[in-house]
Amino acid sequence: MTAPTGWIPVALSSEIEAGASAGAVVDGREVVVWRDTSGVAHAWEDRCPHRGMRMSFGFVRGDHIACLYHGWQYDTAGQCRYIPAHPDLDVPQTIKVPTYATKEANGIIWSTLSDAVADEATPGETAEVTPLRSLYVDCPAAFIRETLESASMPGFTEPEGETIFAAVADSVWTLTTGEDRLYIGVQPVNPSQTALHVVIAGPQATYAGAGQAHFSTWLETLRRSLEDGAPEEATSAPMTTAEVA
């Protein structure tokens, strides 16, 4: 699998509340995604420099995240600021968690998995979105894409209509039926699993509640169909439209 580049989705914004943290895996790399209590999202290497505990098991206090194991505290730049066992120690600047460039757009948290900001804007940014869900599918991303290219999505505001698939970028796909559009951030987890972070491109006044339930049900059916038809090898043929619909 080719390593993803540019802005890569790591979580749905609505799933990481202020003061919370979660682990993600991108192409085999472990990432902690956390949000400080002022609301800013961060993505770092998911490993404490002390003894390697996952930072995603830690707890957030204000603009710091503390490791679960021995309580070392790191500020938003990843710099260790406090070691409980040595409260008077001036912590060396070398004790630092690698941090990654992070942004939020379209209801999704994105990271470059490096300290460099990607040159391109996050593709396909829209004005208003309604969060839907993150979907973990036991299939390679290429198989899911091939399937979606011929899938039929039941619209919400216009149930009938041709479904149009578009790959805005490797990490961003859209599915459109009539006035309804799903915006899908594609996170390759490993060669056999992909996370899809899905939002509805449209206002919550239209889609919150019934609209979210409508597309969430369809996505769950899609996931089961994908996994039932998943190839042993990533190069197998995609499913047909009829199998997905």
Is the Cβ–Cβ distance between 151 and 202 less than 8 Å? no
Q: 57 or 165: whose CB is closer to ligand FES? A: 57
Q: Could you say which DSSP state residue 96 is in?
A: B
* Span near ligand FES by CB under 6 A; candidates 46-54, 103-111, 137-145, 154-162: 46-54
Applying CB under 6 A, what is the total number of residues that bind ligand FES?
8
Q: Phi, psi (5° rounding) for residue 174?
A: -130, 150
65 contributes a contact to ligand FES by CB under 6 A: no
Q: 73 or 177: whose CB is closer to ligand FES? A: 73
Exposed, middle or buried by CB within 10 Å (0-12, 13-18, 19+), for 109?
buried
Radius of gyration of the chain (CA): 20
Q: 95 or 118: whose CB is closer to ligand FES? A: 95
Which of 7, 34, 44, 72 is in the footprint of ligand FES by CB under 6 A?
A: 72
- Quote the CA–CA distance of 162 and 149 in Å, as a whole number: 12
50 contributes a contact to ligand FES by CB under 6 A: yes
Antiparallel, parallel or unpaired: β 129-137 and 172-177: unpaired
Which of 57, 59, 69, 165 is in the footprint of ligand FES by CB under 6 A?
A: 69
* Span near ligand FES by CB under 6 A; candidates 47-55, 152-160, 167-175, 205-213: 47-55
